[in-house]
Amino acid sequence: MSISENVKRRMAEGSWTRKMFEEANLLKKKYGEDSIFDLSLGNPIMEPPAAFKQELKRLSENPIPGMHRYMENAGYEETRAAVAKQVSLETGLQCTAGDIVMTVGAAGALNIILKAILNPCNEVIVFAPFFMEYDNYIDNHGGKTVAVKTDDNFLPELNSLEKAINKKTRAVIINSPNNPTGVVYPEKLIRSIGEVLLRKEKQFNIPIHLISDEAYSNLMYDGLKYVPVFPAYHRSLIATSHSKDLALPGERIGYVAVHPDIDNKPELIDALIFCNRTLGYVNAPALMQNIVRHLQHISVPVPEYEEKRNFLYNNLTDMGYKMVKPQGAFYLFPRSPIENDVEFVHELQKMSILTVPGRGFGTPGYFRISFCVDHKTIEGSLFGFRKVAEQFRLS
Amino acid sequence: MSISENVKRRMAEGSWTRKMFEEANLLKKKYGEDSIFDLSLGNPIMEPPAAFKQELKRLSENPIPGMHRYMENAGYEETRAAVAKQVSLETGLQCTAGDIVMTVGAAGALNIILKAILNPCNEVIVFAPFFMEYDNYIDNHGGKTVAVKTDDNFLPELNSLEKAINKKTRAVIINSPNNPTGVVYPEKLIRSIGEVLLRKEKQFNIPIHLISDEAYSNLMYDGLKYVPVFPAYHRSLIATSHSKDLALPGERIGYVAVHPDIDNKPELIDALIFCNRTLGYVNAPALMQNIVRHLQHISVPVPEYEEKRNFLYNNLTDMGYKMVKPQGAFYLFPRSPIENDVEFVHELQKMSILTVPGRGFGTPGYFRISFCVDHKTIEGSLFGFRKVAEQFRLS
C-alpha cells in the first residue's frame, strides 16, 4: 500500500520482462556467463574511441579548476557551442549554443521535451514497433501514448499518421535508425511527415512537435547518409546522446537541439532548461560535458557493426528466419516463427540464446536480436538459432 | 501556446529569481566578475579531495573493461555495497547493497522516492524555510506540498507537524544540516518526529515516509555528530549525494538508502529502481560510481568551512545583523532588516553583494548568504554589508 498505484500497475504490466530477466540470470548462474549468448541488451560491447580515453586522461592529469562544480543548467557554453557547430554541419541550418540543452542522456532529453510541452491528456504519437520507454516517459508528464502501426518495412504510413492526429496531439516521436527494427527512414518519408504535420497544425490550430530520437544516428550502413529533420519541419527537436557513437551509455550524456527557427524559441528553451533543473537532472554530468565537446566528430568504428550485421543477417536468413534487413542501429527484428513471440523467445532461451519478444516493443509476433556484442557471442549463438530453425522447419 | 501550462505557471512564479539572476549577470558584465561578491549559490568553490583526483587518474590510466557501459539500473553491486557499509557505520543498522539505489544526485534520489510513493493529490510535508526545489519535485509526481512553519530557531514544532498530517499525507521531508538556515536537528527532535509519525500512521492507517535529505551531512561544526534517522523511524529513507562532501555537484552522483527493515522492502526497492529507469535517469553516471565507491569515508576539509562560518557570522553579528548561528551546511539565514526581503537583497546588490531573498525558501523576511566561496569574496563583501548595516541603523 505504500507504492504509487500507477507505478505498481506499470511494474505489473512489465512483469514478464522481469521474469525473463530473472530466468536469464538463473541460466547464467547455472551454466556460466560464457555459455549464454545474451543478445537481449542494447549495451554496446565496444569501448569508447581512443580519443575519448586520451581526453579523459588529459583532464585527469590537468584538471580545469572548478570542472566538477555546477554550471548553467543548460550546460557549459563551450560544450553547447561545439554541439551546435556539429548540428549545423549535419542539418545544414545555422545552430548556436542557445539552441542546445545538454542532458542526462537521450532519456533525459526526451523527458525534458515532453514535460516542457505536454498538458494533461495531450497525446503523443509513436510508430510501432517502438522503444517501450517512450510510453513511460509520456506517462511521466501526464500524456497519452498513441501507437500507430507501420508498413511491412516498419516505415510509418502517412495515412495512418494523418488519422491518428487530433486536437489533443502535441508531438510525434520518430526514431531513425530505429530501435528495435534497425530501419532508416528515407529523406522523402521524413519530408512527407513534415508536410502532414504542417497541414494538421493548421487544420486543428495546434502546435505539433516532431521529436527525433537520434540515439543511433551515427550507426548507419550501406553507405547511407544522415537525414536531418530540421529542414523537413519547423517545429522539430532532436533528442540524442553519446551512448552509442562514443559507447558511453553508462555516463548519461546527451542533448536536445531545437530547430533554430522554431516558434516561440526563447520560451521553449527556458522551459527545457527549467525542466532539466526541476526534473532533478539539474545538469548533464560535468566531466563528460568537458570531454565530449572535443569529440563531436568522433565515432566508434561503424564498419565493425556493419560486419556484425552482415554476418548475423546472412546466417539467420540462410536458416530461414524472415526479417527486414536493418540499415542502422545494432538490432535485427525477425518475425517470430510462431504467433506467440514470448513462447518463441523461450525456445531460444532453451538453446541459451537471450532475445526480447516483439511485444516488448508494442509489436507481438516478432523478436529483437541485439548484435552490439562480441563476435564470439554472435558466432556461438548460431548453433542454437539453427537448431530452433530446424525445430520450426523454417527452411 | 506550445509550452505546458503548468511549466509556464511555475516558471512565472519563479520569474523574480530569474530577474535577479539577470541583474546579477549585468552587474558582473558591467563591473567584472571579480568586483562582484556572489554569495547567492550553493556551488562549492573547493576542489574535490586529492583522493578523488588520484582515483580519477588511476581509472583513466587503467580503465576497467566496460566501465562506461550500462550496469543494473540500481547501480554497480560493488558501489552499492561500499555505500551500504558506510551507511551501516553511520546509522548503526546493518545495511546491504540491496538497500541502496545509486542516483543522479540527491535531486534524482528525491524524485525517484516521490514518484515511487505518491498517488495524485497525496501531500508531502516540508518545514519552512525549505529548499524550494522540493515543491517542484513533489509537483512532478502529482503531489501537493504542505509547508509547516518552524520555531524561532528554525526547528520543526511537533504540534504543527501533528496538525499538518491527515489521511492524504504520504511523506515528510527533513533536511539537517539545513539549506537555507544551516541548523542541525538534535537527536531528541528527530526521535520525537519519528514518534509523531508512528502515532499518525496508526491513527490514519496510512504509510508516512520520513525522507531525510542529507546532502550536507558531512558538513557540521562545533564538534556536532551526525544523527541518523533510521533508528528514529521505521519507514525512513535517506536521499543524499556526493555534491558537497566530495565537492562534485556537477557530476550528479548520489543515492537512496532505505531503512533496512522498512515494510514491504522488496516492492519499494523495485519501485525505486523502476522510477530511476523510467524517469530517464537510467542509472547514476558510471565513472563516478566507479570512483566514489573508494571514497566513502573521505570528505573535503570541514574545518575550512567552519572557519568561513565563524568569520562571516562574527563579522555580520558585530555589524548588527540578526541570525541563528548555523552549525552545518554553508549558509547563513539572517533576518532582513526591512520587511521586504527582495527589496533588501536589492540594497545589497547595490553594494555588489549577491544573496537570495528568504521568499526563495518559502520564508519572506530573511535572506540567504552562501559562504562556500573563497575567503577573498567573503572578506570583500564585508565593506558592503557594513555600509548597508549603517544605512539601516542595525547597531
> How far away is chain B from the Cα of A50, in angstroms, using its nearest Cα?
12
Same domain, A349 and A367: yes
**Percent with pLDDT over 90 in chain B:** 92
Q: Checking phi first, is residue A379 left (phi over 0); if not, alpha (psi -120 to 50) or beta?
A: alpha
Given a contact cutoff of 8 angstroms between Cβ atoms, the answer to whether A369 and A361 are in contact is: no
Containing structural domain, residue A43: 5-48+300-391
Compute CA A305 distance to the chain's CA centroid, rounded to the nearest angstrom. Answer: 17
For residue B34, is pLDDT > 90? no
CA distances from B69 to A195, B2, B51 (A): 39, 36, 24
- Average pLDDT for residues B233-246, to the nearest whole number? 96
Q: What is the pLDDT of residue B141?
A: 98
Q: Over 90: is that where the pLDDT of B18 sits?
A: no
A285/A351 same-domain check? no
Q: Are residues B97 and B220 in the same domain?
A: yes
Who contacts A375 (Cβ-Cβ below 8 Å, separation ≥6)? A308, A311
| A124 shares a domain with A167 | yes
Cell of A183: 530501419
Strand partners, B160: none
H or E segment and range at residue B51: helix B50-61
What pLDDT is attached to residue B301?
A: 93
Q: Provide the β-strand partners of residue A332.
A: A369
Query: How many domains, in total, are found in chain B?
Result: 2
Question: Is residue B325 scored above 90 in pLDDT?
Answer: yes
Chain B nearest CA to A133, separation (Å): 7
In the numeric block, which cell numbers belong to residue B248?
562534485
Same domain, B344 and B245: no
Domain CATH for B256:
3.40.640.10
Residues B254, B313 share a domain: no
**Do A24 and A34 have their domain in common?**
yes
Distance from CA of A215 to the nearest CA of B (A): 14
User: For position B135, what pLDDT does the model report?
Assistant: 97
Q: What pLDDT does A14 receive?
A: 82
- Distance separating alpha carbons of residues B323 and B316, to the nearest angstrom: 9
A237 touches chain B (CB under 8 A): no
Nearest CA of chain B to the CA of A288: how many Å?
A: 9
pLDDT, tens only, B193-211? 999 999 999 999 999 999 9
Which of B262, B292, B322 terminates a domain? The answer is B292
Same domain, B328 and B258: no
Q: Give pLDDT, residue A1.
A: 66
Sequence-distant (6+) residues with CB within 8 A of A95 are: A84, A85, A87, A88, A257, A260
Using CA coordinates, name the residue in chain A closest to B9. A271
B133: chain A residues, CB-CB within 8 Å? 277-278
A279 touches chain B (CB under 8 A): yes
If asked whether residues B39 and B58 sit together in one domain, one would say no
Q: How far is CA A42 from the centre of its chain?
A: 9
Indicate yes or no: CB of B57 within 8 angstroms of CB of A56. Answer: no
* Residue contact A7–B47, C-beta within 8 A: no
Nearest CA in chain A to B118: A4
Q: Determine contact: B255 vs chain A, CB below 8 A.
A: no
B160 pLDDT more than 70? yes
Nearest Cα to B265, choosing from B96, B136, B139? B96
Residues B317 and B268 in one domain: no
CA-nearest of A388, A378, A355 to A27 is: A355
| Same-domain check for residues B237 and B98 | yes
- Mutation target among A8, A67, A68 for the B interface, most CBs of B within 10 A: A68
When the pLDDT of each residue in chain B is averaged and rounded to a whole number, the result is 96
Question: φ, ψ for residue A89 (rounded to 5)?
Answer: -55, -45
Domain boundary among A276, A292, A308: A292
For B289-335, list the strands marked E by DSSP: 331-332
Q: What is the DSSP letter of A369?
A: E
Contacts of A278 (CB under 8 A, 6+ apart): B10, B133, B136, B137, B140
Q: What is the interface pTM, i.e. ipTM, of the complex? A: 0.97
Looking up cell 540515439 gives A215
Rounded Cα gap, residues A284 and A76, in angstroms: 9
Do residues A97 and A77 touch, judged by C-beta distance below 8 A? yes
Task: Please name the residues between 320 and 349 in chain B that touch chain A, using a CB distance below 8 Å.
Answer: none
The single-letter DSSP state of residue B220 is B
- Spatial separation of the C-alpha atoms in residues B126 and B108, rounded to whole Å: 18
User: Which of B292, B317, B345 is the C-terminal boundary of a domain?
Assistant: B292
CB atoms within 10 A of CB B33: 9
Distance from CA of A138 to the nearest CA of B (A): 10
**Residue of B350, B260, B314, B284 whose CA lies nearest to B109:** B284
For the domain that residue A42 is a member of, what is the CATH number? 3.90.1150.10
Nearest-angstrom CA–CA distance, B219 and B225 = 10
Inter-residue contact B288 to B243 (CB < 8 Å): no
**How confident is the model at residue A362, as a pLDDT?**
96
Q: What is the average per-residue pLDDT within B94-108?
A: 98
pTM assigned to the model? 0.97
d(CA A342, CA A336): 9
The single-letter DSSP state of residue B230 is: G
Distance CA A190, CA A186 (A): 7
Rounded to whole angstroms, how far apart are CA atoms B222 and B244?
18
Please tell me which residue of chain A has the smallest CA distance to B275. A7
Residues in chain A closer than 8 A to B7 (CB atoms): 115-116, 271, 274-275
Find, in chain B, the residue whose alpha carbon is nearest to that of A5.
B119
Tens of pLDDT along chain A (395 residues)? 689 999 999 999 887 777 777 788 888 888 888 889 999 988 888 999 999 999 999 999 999 999 999 999 999 999 999 999 999 999 999 999 999 999 999 999 999 999 999 999 999 999 999 999 999 999 999 999 999 999 999 999 999 999 999 999 999 999 999 999 999 999 999 999 999 999 999 999 999 999 999 999 999 999 999 999 999 999 999 999 999 999 999 999 999 999 999 999 999 999 999 999 999 999 999 999 999 999 999 999 999 999 999 999 999 999 999 999 999 999 999 999 999 999 999 999 999 999 999 999 999 999 999 999 999 999 999 999 999 999 999 98
- Which residue in this structure is represented by grid cell 523495485? B270
CB count within 10 Å of CB A163 equals 10
Looking at the complex, report in whole angstroms how far the Cα of residue A277 sits from the nearest Cα belonging to chain B.
9
Residue A88 at interface with chain B, using a CB cutoff of 8 Å: no
For residue B64, count other CB atoms closer than 10 A to its CB: 10
Inform me whether the C-beta atom of residue B141 falls under 8 Å from chain A C-beta atoms: yes
Calculate the CA A254 to chain-centre distance.
12
Answer yes or no: do B35 and B61 share one domain: no
How would you list the strands of the sheet with A331-332, edge to edge?
Answer: A331-332, A367-370, A356-357
b/e map B256-289, b = 16+ CB within 10 Å: bbbbbebeeeebbbbbbbbbbbbbbbbbbbbbbb
Q: Residue range B78-96: average pLDDT?
A: 98
